[in-house]
Chain A
Amino acid sequence: QTGLHLLNPAGHVTSSQVQWQTLKKFLALAQHFRLAVFLADTTVLTLLSQDALRQRDRMTREPHCSFLCTGRPITSFALQANQWKLNPGFLLAAEQKGFELLEVRGHDPRLASLDTLSGEEIPLHFLFRLHGYIIHVVLLYERSGNYLWHGVLRLKANMDRSFAPFKLLDYGRHAGAYDRPELMLTVIDSLDIRVPRNISQFLMQQQRAQYLECRYHDARSFLQLYPDDSSTAAVEFRRKAKALLNLAARTLGELDIPFWISSGTCLGWFRQCSIISYSQDVDIGIFITDFRPDIAEAFRDAGLSLKHKFGKVEDSLELSFLGEDIKLDIFFFYKDGDIMWNGGTQAKSGRKFKYIFPSFSLCWAELLEVKVRVPCETLDYVMANYGATWSIPVRSWDWKSSPSNVMENGVWPMAEWAGLIQVY
């Protein structure tokens, strides 16, 4: 209440003071109900992560609210959903303090699996509005691939579309996946606020957080047509593939090298939300620009052995490792104008092949409870590779001729074979 008496030298209540008061009120409420909301606002966090000079510059302009009042009418916070105690008290108290509330619910993705389960919709986003300022609280749910997830913000038909400038929101255009951030309590503009300890890392994740849920509905239809192989061999293969995928994700994660599931592994995720049991290996893709020479060593340390290495960093590089008794194939992708391609090499003849894909970006997804990336434009990617009939299983597959996007690409010069075709 005191805030409205906080006048600037000219004697006016400034808009930034109103925003600051709004935030103060909200944070006091959250603290009272022990909701550990943390600041997730990209604009504010960017300011916080920048150098002191710039900060001082802002200080002179907005002495009371130099970080939080960004000129945007929205401030975003996030909250781990397991702290959301289904306690109507918090929302009630917020309303009593004058906040208007918009709650957006959605399906619980943790119930979306190959079985048809339906529970109550879960809260995904809360928007609190006071004096024209919006506080956006994004709920983060624990998922089984050891990451946090938030849902897409969809307005139902009967919701107020003018409640907030939805296009300006940092979160909600897509679903997102995040690592569990380590938080610290700090004081910003004399308010106690939790922020991610590693702000720049959080912001980087925020840039590439888009998450794709597997298409369980379609996968169920597919599995009705082509039931899953439940033989001991198939079960064993899936177990090993899961272990190998886990190991790849961990190893490349430690090296900070982004990868995505490719070829048959990607098809398996897209088509049946699982591993194709007769696919025999696990395929992943890495941008050649992310290549590091210590990849091979890291996998060796993780217990895999290098099986073959084809090509070179400049052209058609391909690494293959052996896990328990299944292969991890790593294809390196090269950009060429508006397409991406990777190479293939036939060991005995030195023949080269090229597989061409339309350009794509990367999204998060979950396969066998492992958080992995997939091309966001998954259908285009799968269609490029497997053609329009990708949804029909093909058991006999020749990597040199079956893919829709394979092209002959000459032959490695015989003199270079020793370096370019290494089989162990």
Chain B
Amino acid sequence: MGSKLKGQIDPDSPSYVQDPYSRYSHPPVLEPSLAGAVLFLLVTVIVNIKLILDTRRAADEDPPAQEYEDVIPNMETPRRPASGRKVLDMEVYSSRSKVYVAVDGTTVLEDDMQEQGRGIHVIVLNQATGHVMAKRIFDTYSPHEDEAMILFLNMVTRGRILIFTIKDEGTFHLKDAAKNLLKSFGSQASLNLSWRDMWTLVVKKGGPVCGEKHSKSPALSTWGDPVLLKTEVQLTAAEEAECHWADTELNRRRKLFCSKVEGYGSICSCKDPAPIEFNPDPLPNNNVFNVPVAVIAGNRPNYLYRMLRSLLSAHGVNPQMITVFIDGYYEEPMDVVELFGLKGVQHTPISIKNARVSQHYKASLTATFNLHPDAGFAIVLEEDLDISVDFFSFLSQTIHLLDQDDSLYCISAWNDQGYEHTAEDPGLLYRVESMPGLGWVLKKNIYKDELEPKWPTPEKLWDWDMWMRMPEQRRSRECIIPDVSRSYHFGIIGLNMNGYFHEVYFKKHKFNTIPNVQLRNVDSLRKDSYEAEVQKLLTEAELLDHSKNPCEDSFVPDTEGKTYVMFIKMESELDTSTWTELAKCLHVWDLDVRGYHRGLWRLFRKRNHVLVVAVPISPYS
């Protein structure tokens, strides 16, 4: 797309930053253009191949070990000795269409793809080893990216080597705060950086500038000449690069982590590091203590970090049962897993895009039940979820239903329609015909006897969750969900995709923060009891005034704690237009029809319970 002049509208769909993992459980509404998709596939494939080649590849089938009978001399080659070199040679290149960074002849960054990688590339190196600890791109052509860059740079530990280089355009929305920060690092050019300038900088944070080059753009319509910075960086002794934490098992993990990666806030603070062990309260009668937890992850280590922190802080968590399944041989997610002392499993990527996610899901679920042959259930989580403090308590109170009621498909922590203004009661549960995912419990029998044998094969480019929702799989079974969700889908925040989409559909989702919520009448969620429950509700419900516009605030009276009923037209399953209209003005999920039970939606308006009945398809009409 290239950079554009002021006032022009950027088509804001950089499909290339979309990770397949950001797309779980959304309908395909924001499908990028076909060309974008093809490019995306291509990039995905290339990136995958590259990652497979150059990151930790677990030795596959044949271990280089011998039977103990064969006595052979020690043949293992020693690890590369710490070289005596104390200086790193650097080359940093900045231009309109290409950036690269080479450290001691090794290319650690190379980006010459068209229509991607615009902005300021930042690389953090360990000042003692020269290892790459973080790589980021801040598209400071676009608004607010400079704020993200400031946050990131402030988190980087003092003494680290920072490398900056601009591709295409990186100054349009680079505000003074960011320029001043760069100046405080020692940059001479930062205050003068402007439209389509090329720029490179190598600096030790809190230390000397090792080199800087800047070339001004001569005119609005042209770019500055490419710059190539060649410089040397003095390495420091290992001890100087480390903090002196007390020598404990936890700190050993912390030390290892902090020597490898940057950008995780105060985890690596020398003086007051953030905890990596949380010791949340146990649950008195925990029925899910021995249920395995599968965390499905891609390559979004910062997300995974946030997710695992909330998971390990939830009451009743059993870290022994957690396995993180990483789709690909990525280092950094594995580092995060090891930081928390958890078990991580890496999966060779199969297929592409949604099918890749789907295959990863299958492999992870199969492995989960393999690792825990005694388990009757598995809890399935994704790397972009916050977990409520009473998540396990919620499951512990409901999991028996899956065993006792064959008409159930899953228990999910997520209410598709549970927004700040439509969810109210943390003790209330529903039955719904859709399968929400986003933190859910799967029964082993359902997986082993039904889903696993016919799981979509890689060449079918299907979403696993869409597939699970198909009638052939769901077979009219329902899921139990809470009114107030026990998970929060933060997955889209920070991703450079449609901010409006997240704002509208996810950000305002209600998330329970109250511990130890006692769920009410759990057994009334069984098939027959629930029908009686719904009938009772309908009997006591007051009919809303249908002559009023349901989009008007006055449609629901200003009462509290009452139950109301309204009727909408729905001639068939496919006749969704009335519901969609209503959902739009209620500001709930309207991209497809979700969260209903036999043509009935239940939600809250102004602290009143509102029943929406579809006429005539609902048996309640």
Instruction: Let me know if B60 and A119 touch, CB within 8 A.
Output: no
Give the interface segment out of A152-160, A257-265, A282-290.
Answer: A152-160
Q: In the complex the two chains form, what is the Cα distance from A146 to B369 in whole Å?
A: 12
Expressed in whole angstroms, the minimum distance between the Cβ of A80 and any Cβ of chain B is: 11
With an 8 A cutoff between CB atoms, is A106 at the interface? yes
CB distance from B306 to the nearest CB of A (A): 23
Q: Which of A106, A120, A239, A369 contacts B63 (CB 8 A)?
A: A106
Point out which of A117, A144, A161, A228 has the most chain B C-beta atoms below 10 A from its C-beta: A117
Q: How near does chain B come to A307, taking the closest CB pair, in angstroms?
A: 26
Kindly identify which residue among B363, B373, B454 contacts A143, using a CB–CB cutoff of 8 Å. B373
Q: Is B453 engaged at the interface, CB distance under 8 Å to the other chain? A: yes
Of B69-77, B179-187, B557-565, B576-584, which binds chain A? B69-77
CA distance A231 to B362 in the complex (A): 18
| A120 in contact with B344 (CB, 8 Å) | yes
Please tell me if the beta carbons of A156 and B65 are within 8 angstroms of each other in the complex.
yes
Tell me whether A111 and B371 are in contact (CB under 8 A): yes
Whole-angstrom CA separation of A157 from B448 in the bound complex: 40
Kindly report which residue of chain B lies nearest to residue A243, judged by CB atoms. B449
B68 touches A153 (CB 8 A): yes
A37 CB to closest chain B CB (Å) equals: 19
Q: At the interface with chain A, which of B189-197, B345-353, B534-542?
A: B345-353
Closest to A146 in B: B373
By a CB distance below 8 angstroms, the chain B residues around A216 are 61
Residues of A within 8 A of B363 (CB): 113, 115, 117
A32, CB-defined interface residue at 8 Å: no
A-B contact count (CB 8 A): 102
B619 CB contacts on chain A under 8 angstroms: none
What residues on A are CB-neighbors of B457 within 8 Å? 227-228, 230
- Asked if B346 and A119 sit within 8 Å, CB to CB, the answer is yes
Tell me which of B60, B76, B320, B370 has the highest count of chain A C-beta atoms within 10 A of its own C-beta: B370
Given contacts A85-B320, A88-B249, A143-B373, contact A157 B344 (CB under 8 A): no
A117→B347 contact, CB < 8 A:
yes
Is A268 positioned at the interface, with any CB of B under 8 Å from its CB?
no
How far in angstroms is the closest Cβ of chain A from B341?
8
Most central of B75, B344, B347, B448 by chain A CB within 10 Å: B347
CB neighbours of A116 from chain B (8 A): 60, 347-348
- Give the distance in Å from the alpha carbon of A217 to the alpha carbon of B61 in the complex: 7
Task: Tell me which residues across on chain B come within 8 A of A120, comparing CB atoms.
Answer: 343-344
Contact with A along B355-367 (1 / 0, CB 8 A): 0000100110011
**Binary CB contact string for chain A from 206 to 222 against chain B (1 if under 8 A, 0 otherwise):** 00000000001100000
- Could you tell me the distance between the alpha carbons of A369 and B366 in the complex, rounded to whole angstroms? 11
Is the pair B373, A157 in contact by a Cβ cutoff of 8 Å? no
Contact indicator B76/A119 (Cβ below 8 Å): no
Residue interface bits A96-126, CB-to-B below 8 A is 1, else 0:
0000000000111011010111111000000
Contact B370 A230 (CB under 8 A): no
Answer whether residue A166 sits at the interface, using C-beta atoms and an 8 A cutoff.
yes
CB pair B343 A144 closer than 8 Å: no
| Residues from chain B with Cβ under 8 Å of A117 in the complex | 325, 345-348, 363, 367
**Complexed CA–CA distance, A374 and B448 (Å):** 24
**17 extra interchain contacts, Cβ-Cβ under 8 A, other than A118-B60, A154-B67, A172-B68?**
A107-B63, A108-B371, A110-B367, A110-B370, A113-B370, A117-B325, A117-B346, A117-B347, A144-B370, A153-B68, A155-B65, A156-B76, A157-B64, A157-B66, A158-B76, A161-B68, A232-B454
Q: What are 10 contact pairs spanning A and B, CB under 8 A?
A: A107-B63, A115-B366, A119-B323, A144-B369, A144-B373, A145-B373, A157-B65, A157-B76, A166-B68, A167-B68
> Which A residues are within 8 Å of any B CB, using their own CB?
85-86, 88, 106-108, 110-111, 113, 115-120, 142-146, 152-158, 161, 166-167, 172, 216-217, 227-228, 230, 232, 235, 238-239, 369
Chain B residues within CB distance 8 Å of chain A? 58, 60-69, 71-72, 74-76, 249, 320, 323, 325, 341, 343-348, 350, 359, 362-363, 366-367, 369-374, 448-449, 453-454, 457
For the complex of A and B, list the 7 residue pairs with the smallest distance between their C-beta atoms, beginning with the closest: A118-B58, A115-B363, A116-B348, A119-B345, A110-B370, A217-B61, A154-B65
